[in-house]
A and B are shown apart, each in its own frame.
Chain A
Amino acid sequence: MNKREIKAFLGVNFLRLFIIITLIFLIIFLYVIFSKGGKVLSWSFITESPRKFMTEGGIYPAIVGTFWLTVLSIGSALPLGVFTAIFITSYAKPFWLVRMVRVAINTLAGVPSIIYGLFGLTVFVRMFHFDVSILSGALTLGVLALPVIINASEEALRSVPKDFIEASLALGATERQTILKVILPTALPSILTGTIISIGRVAGETAPILFTAATFYTRKLPTSIMDEVMVLPYHIYALMTEGCHADKQVPIAYGTAVVLLILVLLISTVAIIIRYRIRKKRKW
């Protein structure tokens, strides 16, 4: 082997080494979480309330809390996001407004999640007097999901072939009819995929709900959207940092992490499968 070949051999194998290290990290990580969390997982763990200051019992209220926060946040962000994407792709006038919207979306996408938490605290909790509640937390998370949904929707709307739009307009349909009856239905599966991805993101966030929705310990389930709730990610945090029975709390934290991970991974797997099938089925 000459010098060039040795260099190439070393280089390529270095790259191989890097990806192997990444995969080893991932395997160790998943193995630790699942092996330690799997031990406490049982039917009663996901259907019962915590007992004795979270040293015993299950995590049912946290699952319920996560469900409501996620549903309400996506429910508020989805229409807003899709309409914004329609504006950017179909109307796109005046130009300066499009440009400003774009800058706003890109900035929002990069804002740290703790800053969303402070925004929610200032605006929803204090200014609107929603207090620490499901409503405040869901709106905060909705704002966080907005850029993800807009970007996914925009990409989906843009992938609708121009012929479809032109055909619709040529047949005498108005712009609104074309958007609602041709563009939106065609783009819907891809929009949904993007939305599912943002669900995964929202369900796992902790920092934005620290001061807007989450509570450390409650045995009762929320009865209205003005109640504070237990939430899966915050539950893990609380188990690791509060209380004084680490030996009993850490296994429960691992169990909660497994439930959260399965939830999030399941959601994103569904999204990946749907996207794969759309791409296969698409005829244009």
Chain B
Amino acid sequence: MNKFKESSFKIITYTASLFTIIILFGIIGSLFYGGIPIFNIVSIKEFLFNPAWHPTSDPPDFGILSLIIGSFLVTLGALIISIPLGLGSAIYISEIASARMREILKPIIELLAGIPSIVYGLFGVAFLSPFLIKIFNIPNGLNLFSASIILGIMVIPIISSMSEDALSTVPKNLREASLALGANKWETIIKIVLPAARSGVLTSIILGFGRAVGETMVVLMIAGGAAQIPKGIFQPVRPMPASVAAEMGETVVGSSHFHALFGIAIVLFVITFISILITEFVVGRKMK
């Protein structure tokens, strides 16, 4: 009887664990099930490298190059803002702030991470966009620039809290040795602490990239929505997640447009999966 209880409990935990694997395959499976049929209509090469996205015209164009470029530019913009601010905050909290200051600043950054993306989206549409129109005198406040700013603010806490963890695990004696040899605080940070924590810092940046590339609501509301390769930072773009979210509700299930949207999701999944693999293998190995 007891033996039966032991093994059935064990089996429950095994089954639960198998579920996570099943779910992952379920996600991959449903993306490919929905997305593969589009490649009977357009070739993979045309899908990826044709800049014309006119899924509802006749004949339709299913090229997502402008969406991919839109995603990358918005993400790049977000990282340009969030890497210095996030990493700078992390270094300040870990290396310069007093213990009391640290106790206050750390939870604040954690709270920042908990703000739902939809609230950022609202802030971007209702406040930032009119504000940008006023100060830059541009016709449209929903564009690459405003989406990058909001995404950047969203990514700051991810980079900051993970980098801060990495910095705080750098052994104290490294810092003390550096200071004892006559280096000042700044030199210690730049030449000793940061290099020692570089794999953790790099991981935080890659995770921030993954978050920015996949974030949906912010780019859906703020990026402006035009499927084009932008000619300036104040031009509207249509990143991949925005296209999927905006068009999925309006398309007929089973149409080629429907399959094309799943095709976009495959590309998005591959990009984030590669970034996860990089953190797993490249960065993870360096740490040892």
Contact = CB atoms under 8 A, between A and B. Distances in A.
Interface of A: 4-5, 7-9, 11-12, 14-19, 21-23, 25-26, 29, 32-33, 36, 79-81, 83-84, 86-88, 90-91, 97, 100-101, 103-108, 110-119, 121-123, 126, 143, 146-147, 150, 174-176, 179-180, 197, 200-201, 203-207, 210-211, 233-234, 236-237, 240-241, 250, 253-254, 257, 260-261, 264-265, 268-269, 272
B47 to A, nearest CB: 17
Contacts of B186: 7-9, 11-12
Contact of A211 (B19, B115, B217, B249): B249
27 contacts: A11-B189, A18-B84, A18-B87, A22-B85, A22-B86, A22-B109, A33-B119, A80-B19, A84-B16, A104-B20, A104-B21, A104-B24, A112-B214, A112-B272, A113-B215, A114-B265, A118-B30, A123-B30, A146-B20, A176-B9, A176-B10, A204-B119, A206-B216, A237-B118, A254-B122, A261-B115, A261-B116
Interface stretch (B53-61, B88-96, B170-178, B226-234): B88-96
Nearest to B153: A25
The 10 A-B pairs at the shortest CB distance, nearest first, are namely A112-B214, A204-B116, A18-B88, A83-B16, A8-B186, A122-B30, A87-B13, A207-B216, A11-B186, A114-B216
Contact of B110 (A29, A83, A272): A272
B24 A112 contact: no
A14 B88 contact: yes
B119 A237 contact: no
B26 to A, nearest CB: 6
B184 interface: yes
B135 to A, nearest CB: 14
Nearest to A234: B118
Contacts of B265: 114-115, 118
B118 A206 contact: yes
Contact of A15 (B30, B96, B116): B96
Given A126-B253, A176-B6, A115 B269 contact: yes
Given A110-B210, A112-B215, A237-B217, A268 B110 contact: yes
B67 interface: no
Interface of B: 2, 5-6, 9-10, 12-17, 19-21, 23-24, 26-27, 30-31, 33-34, 84-89, 91-93, 96, 105, 107-112, 114-123, 125-127, 153, 156, 160, 184-187, 189-190, 207, 210, 213-217, 221, 241, 244-245, 248-249, 253, 262, 265, 268-269, 272-273, 275-276, 280
Chain B interface mostly: helix
A115 B114 contact: no
B10 A91 contact: yes
Nearest to B243: A114
B24 A268 contact: no
Contact of B241 (A15, A26, A207): A207
Given A112-B269, A206-B116, 12 more contacts: A12-B185, A15-B92, A26-B112, A83-B16, A97-B14, A104-B20, A105-B20, A108-B24, A112-B272, A117-B245, A122-B33, A204-B118
A58 to B, nearest CB: 18
